[in-house]
């Protein structure tokens, strides 16, 4: 038996390999990894590791001998260059691997803006990116961040803690526009400004001034000139879909289209993690998510299917971000027309924005309110009417706000 070839050893690929063995899968598993180093957690790259609080070897996904012990052949430094569904082979630089099942777990790559290709401009996706950025932060005083999304804001918070002067340039008129409600954007903006981050909203880049191959300042179209010793471009990612798309897999919204079992449109080829687009039952919409939860849970689902256990992906999506003293935790996805109820006192720094549509709970956006977050992951999508007025009282447990559905047989 040729077994399973997994391309990509990030959160999704490693989880798929682990879950296959946990499900009793006995066939060979090969984990093809373009990166040379042991698979690692990505979230600390903008947080604890960048801050120097964790070393690279402290954020590995599994210990050094885990893969050998579990009969998983980890192939570091191996880049898959083609997938042939007819012969069922994955091509590498020095040969090819036969498969019974292939899993594409190739993630996404950070986008670099054309006008920023200079030696002191960085993106942040890989450990190597984080080490380069860390090195530049140790030598520079002025950091300009292009993009007020999660990565940009996490790096802004880390850089301020390390004593750098930080400007964040965001073209939208609020931070995190696609990810959090307006009230939370304003709160986060205010917390960053209170810690000395200069945030420029609704700002267009006019250009950069450079000397000897290095950016010296970033100019805004209004004329402001932001001094820069280094620049982080945090403007989002492009899913790595080339391998399967070139082999004929269908794509949607930039990702590889998968069904509830994580199957692509190619026979015996699955896809998981940041590179996928899928139908999310809890919202009834087609989405592409970039989160550890999504990568790990899709890895489990694909493994269940390959090992013959079945199972369909039907999660409540969740995500977290750490910025200064804020632990942001989001469960569910915002919907157009969602109504927000504030739970807890914003001034206390611990509160949640509870989002409902009619009498349905659709999302909970929490700041330092872990109990709300954990409860909401169980309640979103659960049947029953959600009482948003009751949820405003933080002493009422969230689960008490959900009335049991009427017994339809009565
Ligand atoms: C700095 C940073 C901070 C983050 N913080 C958070 C957070 O706080 N909370 C959260 O939920 N999420 C966070 N995320 C997002 C989260 O890390 C990703 O959603 C998750 O890592 C996706 O996992 P993945 O396995 O799909 O992709 P990846 O982790 O990107 O792994 C894909 C792997 O495939 C490899 N690969 C690609 N093409 C090939 C090929 N042809 N051959 C071989 N290998 C290949 C890549 O090199 C990569 O190693 C963060 C991401 C970053 C970058």
Which atom of ligand 1 lies closest to the CA of 290? 19
Whether 277 shows a pLDDT value over 60: the answer reads yes
Average pLDDT, the chain: 96
Compute the distance from residue 148 Cα to the ligand 1 centre, in Å.
19
- What is the whole-number distance in angstroms between the Cα of residue 341 and the centre of ligand 1? 33
Cα–Cα dist 14/9, whole Å: 5
Q: How far apart are CA 149 and CA 178, in angstroms?
A: 9
Q: Sign of the CA dihedral 220, 46, 128, 245?
A: negative
Q: Is the pLDDT of residue 369 over 60?
A: yes
- Region 306-311 average pLDDT: 95
pLDDT at 12 over 90: yes
Cα–Cα distances (Å) from 29 to 3, 17, 32, 319, 365, in that order, read: 6, 7, 10, 29, 39
* Residue 385 CA, ligand 1 centroid: distance in Å: 37
The arithmetic mean of pLDDT across residues 301-312, rounded, is: 96
pLDDT tens per residue across span 126-172? 999 999 999 999 999 999 999 999 999 999 999 999 999 999 999 99
Q: How far apart are CA 150 and CA 397, in angstroms?
A: 29
| Rounded Cα–Cα distance for residues 203 and 210 (Å) | 20
Predicted confidence at residue 178, as pLDDT, reads: 86
Angle CA 29–31–37, to nearest 5: 145
**3-class state of residue 278 by DSSP:** strand
Mean of pLDDT values over 295-313: 97
Q: For the residues 68-89, what does the mean pLDDT come to?
A: 98
In this predicted structure, the answer to whether residue 410 has a pLDDT above a threshold of 70 is no
Share of the chain above pLDDT 70, in %: 99
Strands, E assignment, 258-384: 269-271, 276-280, 285-287, 318-323, 326-332, 339-343, 351-357, 360-367
* Cα–Cα distances in angstroms (integers) from residue 45 to residues 134, 224, 272, in the given order: 10, 30, 21
Residues with CB under 6 A from ligand 1: 7-13, 32-35, 42-43, 45-46, 79-80, 105-108, 124-125, 151, 240, 243, 273-274, 290-293, 295, 319-321
Q: Which residue has the tokens 């520079």?
A: 140
Percent of the chain whose predicted confidence (pLDDT) is above 90 = 97
CA 30 to chain centroid, in Å, comes to 24
Confidence (pTM):
0.97
Dump pLDDT digits (tens) for 183-223. 999 999 999 999 999 999 999 999 999 999 999 999 999 89
What is the C-alpha separation between 274 and 395, in angstroms, rounded?
37
Which residue puts its alpha carbon closest to atom 9 of ligand 1?
A: 320
Q: Compute the distance between CA of residue 410 and CA of residue 403 in angstroms, rounded to an integer.
A: 17
| pLDDT band, residue 407 (cuts 50/70/90) | very low
User: Is 401 in contact with 390 (CB distance < 8 Å)?
Assistant: yes
Mean pLDDT of 86-108: 98
Q: What is the pLDDT of residue 406?
A: 54
Contact 273, 12 (CB under 8 A): yes
Domains delineated in the chain: 4-109+238-306 (3.50.50.60), 112-233 (3.50.50.60), 325-403 (3.30.390.30)
Instruction: For residue 182, report the distance from its CA to the centre of ligand 1, in Å.
Output: 27
Distance 297 CA to ligand 1 centre (A): 14
Confidence of residue 409 (pLDDT cuts 50, 70, 90): very low
Residue 408 has pLDDT above 60, yes or no: no
Average pLDDT for residues 61-84, to the nearest whole number?
A: 97
For the chain, the 3-state helix, strand and coil shares in percent, each to the nearest 5, are 25, 30, 40
pLDDT of residue 405: 64
Residue 404: pLDDT band (50, 70, 90) is confident
Residues 6+ apart with CB under 8 A from 86: none
Q: In angstroms, rounded to a whole number, what is the distance separating the alpha carbons of residues 285 and 49?
A: 35
- Choose among 47, 40, 43, 41: nearest CA to 154: 47
Q: Kindly give the number of the ligand 1 atom that is closest to the alpha carbon of 46.
A: 1
Q: What is the pLDDT of residues 318-329, one digit of tens each?
A: 999 999 999 999
**Segment 233-246, tens digit of pLDDT:** 999 999 999 999 99
Atom 31 of ligand 1, residue of closest alpha carbon: 10
Report the candidate in 191, 163, 165 with the shortest Cα–Cα distance to residue 176: 191
* 12 C-alpha to ligand 1 centroid (Å): 8
Minimum-distance ligand 1 atom for the alpha carbon of 299? 25
Q: What is the pLDDT of residue 91?
A: 98
Identify the residue whose C-alpha is closest to ligand 1 atom 26. 273
Supply the pLDDT for residue 266: 98
Q: Nearest Cα to 262, choosing from 216, 221, 315?
A: 315
Q: What is the DSSP letter of 163?
A: T
Residue 348 confidence (pLDDT): 96
- CA 41 – CA 171 distance, rounded (Å): 29
Instruction: Work out which ligand 1 atom sits closest to the CA atom of 292.
Output: 11
Give distance in angstroms: CA of 130 to centre of ligand 1: 13
Burial class for 348, CB neighbours closer than 10 Å (0-12, 13-18, 19+) = exposed
User: In whole angstroms, what is the distance from residue 8 CA to residue 327 CA?
Assistant: 29
Pairing state of beta strands 29-33 and 4-7?
parallel
CA of 9 to the centre of ligand 1 (A): 9
């Amino acid at each position: 038996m040729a077994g399973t070839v997994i391309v990509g050893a990030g959160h999704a690929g490693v989880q798929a390999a682990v879950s296959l063995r946990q499900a009793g899968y006995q066939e060979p598993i090969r984990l093809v990894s373009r990166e040379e180093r042991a698979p690692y957690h990505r979230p600390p790259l903008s947080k604890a590791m960048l801050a120097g609080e964790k070393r690279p070897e402290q954020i590995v996904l599994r210990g050094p001998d885990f893969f050998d012990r579990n009969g998983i052949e980890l192939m570091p430094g191996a880049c898959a260059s083609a997938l042939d569904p007819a012969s069922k082979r994955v091509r590498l630089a020095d040969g090819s691997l036969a498969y019974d099942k292939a899993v594409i777990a190739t993630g996404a790559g950070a986008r670099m803006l054309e006008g920023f290709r200079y030696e002191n401009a960085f993106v942040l996706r890989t450990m190597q990116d984080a080490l380069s950025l860390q090195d530049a932060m140790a030598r520079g005083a002025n950091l300009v961040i292009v993009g007020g999304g999660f990565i940009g804001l996490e790096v802004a918070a880390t850089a301020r803690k390390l004593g750098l002067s930080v400007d964040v340039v965001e073209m939208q008129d609020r931070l995190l526009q696609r990810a959090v409600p307006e009230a939370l954007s304003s709160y986060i903006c205010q917390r960053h400004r209170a810690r000395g981050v200069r945030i420029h909203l609704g700002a267009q880049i006019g250009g950069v001034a450079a000397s000897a191959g290095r950016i010296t300042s970033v100019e805004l179209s209004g004329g402001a000139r932001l001094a820069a010793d280094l620049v982080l471009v945090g403007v989002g990612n492009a899913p790595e879909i080339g391998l399967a798309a070139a082999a004929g897999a269908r794509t949607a919204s930039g990702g590889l289209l998968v069904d509830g079992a994580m199957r692509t449109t190619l026979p015996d080829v699955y896809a998981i993690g940041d590179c996928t687009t899928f139908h999310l039952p809890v919202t009834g919409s087609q989405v592409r998510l970039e989160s550890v939860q999504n990568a790990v849970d899709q890895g489990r689902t694909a493994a269940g299917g390959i090992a013959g256990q079945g199972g369909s992906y039907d999660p409540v999506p969740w995500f977290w971000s750490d910025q200064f003293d804020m632990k942001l935790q989001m469960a569910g996805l915002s919907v157009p027309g969602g109504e927000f109820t504030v739970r807890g006192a914003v001034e206390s720094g611990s509160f949640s924005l509870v989002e409902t549509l009619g009498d349905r709970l659709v999302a909970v956006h929490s700041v330092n309110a872990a109990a709300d977050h954990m409860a909401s992951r169980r309640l979103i999508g659960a049947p029953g009417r959600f009482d948003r007025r009751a949820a405003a009282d933080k002493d009422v447990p969230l689960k008490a706000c959900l009335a049991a559905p009427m017994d339809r047989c009565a």
